């Protein structure tokens, strides 16, 4: 596993060593240096300006930019474009980030056990009043794992990529497919499949209005766990 702390602690590689296959999507334009110019078509969205594939955390909002209590919340939330603090703790990697526009501390503890990766996540409201959040994961797979004829329910290359989450927390699965046919920038030329568990399809502002956001009291915490696994398929 390769994690980039300065880029939202995004997971940019999840290599299955026996086969040499990384199931995550790697954009054909590659991972640029920090001072790379924004990609055409990103429309001022920091997430899209630097997106190059992999797996990102979407918090405390998803989807379109919005405003929460007078604070601007960017496309796909704050944390995917903020630097995180990451430190090794035995066989785990602990990553934390303090949001700038909302009063949240987000912590992710990642552990690798054989071909399984667990993400133990915790959010705390560090403010002095109740606050709302929306949460999601931007997990996208690509070639060579993703190939013509693939289906979500069948193995590919003799491998299966299994992603587990709590359906009571992440009640929506956002799936998008760009099998080489994406023409609009900034994703033109992408061959990818997004399988993204989200709390709601609505951004934070809309989710609060619809009663679909998670609300935390001052000092309160909320925790959940996701697990990703690369399996040698027997089907």
Q: What is the pLDDT of residue 180?
A: 77
- Please give the structure tokens belonging to residue 87: 């430190």
pLDDT of the residue at 155: 42
- The reported pTM is 0.89
Q: What are phi and psi of 13, to 5 degrees?
A: -150, 135
Each residue's pLDDT expressed in tens, for the chain with a length of 235 residues: 999 999 999 999 999 888 899 999 999 889 888 888 888 888 899 999 989 999 999 999 999 999 999 999 999 999 999 999 999 988 899 999 999 999 999 999 999 987 789 999 999 999 999 999 999 999 999 988 888 776 665 447 677 888 999 999 999 999 888 877 777 778 888 889 898 999 999 999 999 999 999 999 999 999 999 999 988 765 5
Scan for tokens 């609060």, then name that residue.
Answer: 208
With beta carbons less than 8 A apart as the criterion, state whether 62 and 201 touch.
yes
Domain boundaries, the chain: 2-232
49: helix, coil or strand? helix
**Nearest-angstrom CA–CA distance, 100 and 102:** 6
Residues contacting 2, CB < 8 A, separation 6+? 11, 12, 13
Closest listed residue to residue 127, CA positions, set 221, 52, 201, 192: 221
User: How far is it, in rounded angstroms, from Cα 146 to Cα 16?
Assistant: 14
> pLDDT at position 23, please?
93
Nearest-angstrom CA–CA distance, 189 and 111: 33
Residue 30 region, left (φ>0) first, then alpha (ψ -120 to 50), else beta?
left
The two tokens of residue 56 are 């990102």
Residue 94 class from Cβ within 10 Å (0-12 exposed, 13-18 middle, 19+ buried)?
middle
Residue 60, preceding peptide bond in cis (omega within 30° of 0) = yes
What are the backbone dihedrals phi and psi of residue 205, each rounded to the nearest 5 degrees, phi first? Answer: -60, -45
- Say how far apart CA 103 and CA 234 lie, in whole Å: 46
CB atoms under 10 Å from CB of 79, counted, come to 26
Q: Output the pLDDT for position 32.
A: 85
CATH of 2-232, one of 2.40.30.10, 3.30.60.50, 3.40.50.11540, 2.70.98.10: 2.70.98.10
How many other CB atoms sit within 10 Å of the CB of residue 223?
12
């Amino acid at each position: 596993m390769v994690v980039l702390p300065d880029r939202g602690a995004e997971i940019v590689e999840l290599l299955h060593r026996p086969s040499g296959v990384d199931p995550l999507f790697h954009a054909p334009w590659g991972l640029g240096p920090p001072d790379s110019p924004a990609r055409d078509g990103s429309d001022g969205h920091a997430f899209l300006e630097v997106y190059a594939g992999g797996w990102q955390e979407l918090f405390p909002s998803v989807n379109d930019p919005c405003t929460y209590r007078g604070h601007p919340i960017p496309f796909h939330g704050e944390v995917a474009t903020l630097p995180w603090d990451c430190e090794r703790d035995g066989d785990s990697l602990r990553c934390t980030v303090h949001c700038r526009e909302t009063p949240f501390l987000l912590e992710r503890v990642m552990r690798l056990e054989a071909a399984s990766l667990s993400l133990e996540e915790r959010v705390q409201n560090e403010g002095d009043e109740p606050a709302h959040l929306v949460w999601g994961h931007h997990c996208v797979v690509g070639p060579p794992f993703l190939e013509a004829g693939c289906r979500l329910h069948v193995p590919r290359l003799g491998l299966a990529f299994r992603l587990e989450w709590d359906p009571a927390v992440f009640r929506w699965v956002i799936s998008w497919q760009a099998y080489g046919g994406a023409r609009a920038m900034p994703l033109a030329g992408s061959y990818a499949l997004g399988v993204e568990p989200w709390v709601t399809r609505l951004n934070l502002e809309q989710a609060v209005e619809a009663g679909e956001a998670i609300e935390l009291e001052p000092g309160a915490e909320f925790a959940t766990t996701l697990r990703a696994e690369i399996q040698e398929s027997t089907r």
